[in-house]
Amino acid sequence: MIEQALANPWIRQLANAALLLAVINLGVLVLIYMERKVAGFIQSRLGPVHVGPRGWLQSVADALKLILKEDIIPAPADRFLFVLAPFFVFVPVLAVFLVLPFNAGWVAHDFSLAALYVIAAGTVAIMGIVMAGWGTNNKYSLLGGLRSAAQLVSYEIPVVLAILAVVFYAQSMSLVDIAEAQRGFGWFIFHPPLLVAAFVYMIGQLAETNRTPFDLPEAESELVSGFHTEYSGIRFAMFFLAEFANTFFAAALAVVLFFGGWDGLPGLTGALWLVAKSYVLVFVLMWIRWTLPRVRVDQLLGFAWKVLVPIGLIVVLWAAASVVYAGGAKP
């Protein structure tokens, strides 16, 4: 019965999407707990300890409380944009997970342009952020939304260049092929051009996920909370969910692109290796977030266009040259 139903491609994709949604939601609860604990230990505090054993249930309590809060739509807001914006931010994040390979054969949908699709689908979220900023009719939200748009558009380019360098090495845009090409510890991070590309990618993703050295869109000391200033309860929870899911996706994509995907020591399932490596990278992102101060907005854009983009272009040329003249992926 279940096999018959799963043979239908539509039902199969729906089942995959539902499974991914569950995994993402659980993963985000873990990430929020981890963020607060890491923040605590970095600031020599403890973080949550009272709710559940060692505070494990803290994010469950937070999520439940946010669902139960009053849902406010401010009178001057544009209702249509205000209601639609959280979905525009959350759905692209869910959509990019569809092509992420967790293990050999563990991918909801693999196709030959997956790397391009990740970039294209991820960019739709900027629309949602600008909609939220404009639709709430609040000056802080508008400034936050516009800053966010400028930042995300600028940092998308170095990320694309870094992914392009990887695509040269793997000779494919399918994420499954890219991960397969690194089997047996032939990780792309060990190749000099891609080591630089990995740095460019991580800095770019740090900015795209709005984390602290680049968290200008929601800078508390100047913009209250940026584009989600007027959102309360469940709608704010969706922005929060999207932000943390995006952080996890950025780390998981880095693992697939540079750190061998599900490749690891034998004995454990590949998916566990992928998730473990992703969490290490997420920890690095949190470490940076709670250590560095915020940059200024002109420094932010100057850094993207004057430093990261030129480095990205050089890396692309370097990667292309090493693929053509030095045999590239087989050192």
Say how many C-beta atoms besides its own lie within 10 A of residue 298's C-beta: 8
* Smallest separation (angstroms) from other proteins to the CB of 35: 11
- Name which position in 16, 123, 137, 225 contacts other proteins (CB under 8 A): 225
Tell me how far apart the alpha carbons of residues 228 and 141 are, in angstroms, rounded to a whole number.
7
Stretch that binds other proteins, among 70-78, 102-110, 197-205, 277-285 (CB under 8 A): 70-78
- Name which position in 65, 79, 139, 183 contacts other proteins (CB under 8 A): 65
Determine the size of the site formed for other proteins (CB under 8 A).
36
* Smallest separation (angstroms) from other proteins to the CB of 223: 9
For residue 212, give the nearest of 155, 158, 285, 278 by alpha carbon. Answer: 285
126: alpha, beta or left? (left if phi > 0; alpha if psi -120 to 50): alpha
Say how many C-beta atoms besides its own lie within 10 A of residue 147's C-beta: 24
* Smallest separation (angstroms) from other proteins to the CB of 70: 4
Tell me how far apart the alpha carbons of residues 65 and 69 are, in angstroms, rounded to a whole number.
6
265 binds other proteins (CB under 8 A): no
> Which residues, numbered 41-60, are part of the site for other proteins (CB under 8 A)?
43-51, 55, 57-58, 60
Stretch that binds other proteins, among 115-123, 145-153, 226-234, 302-310 (CB under 8 A): 226-234
Stretch that binds other proteins, among 36-44, 106-114, 165-173, 303-311 (CB under 8 A): 36-44
Question: At which residue do the structure tokens 């692109």 appear?
Answer: 257
Q: What is the DSSP string of 123-142?
A: HHHHHHHHHHHHHTT-HHHH
Q: Are 164 and 188 in contact (CB under 8 A)?
A: no
Q: Which is nearer to other proteins, 48 or 133 (CB)?
A: 48
Q: Phi/psi at 236 (nearest 5 deg)?
A: -65, -35
Helices (H) and strands (E) in the chain, counts: 13, 0
76 binds other proteins (CB under 8 A): no
64 binds other proteins (CB under 8 A): yes
For binding to other proteins (CB under 8 A), which residues are involved?
A: 36, 39-40, 43-51, 55, 57-58, 60-62, 64-66, 68-72, 220, 224-225, 228-233, 236
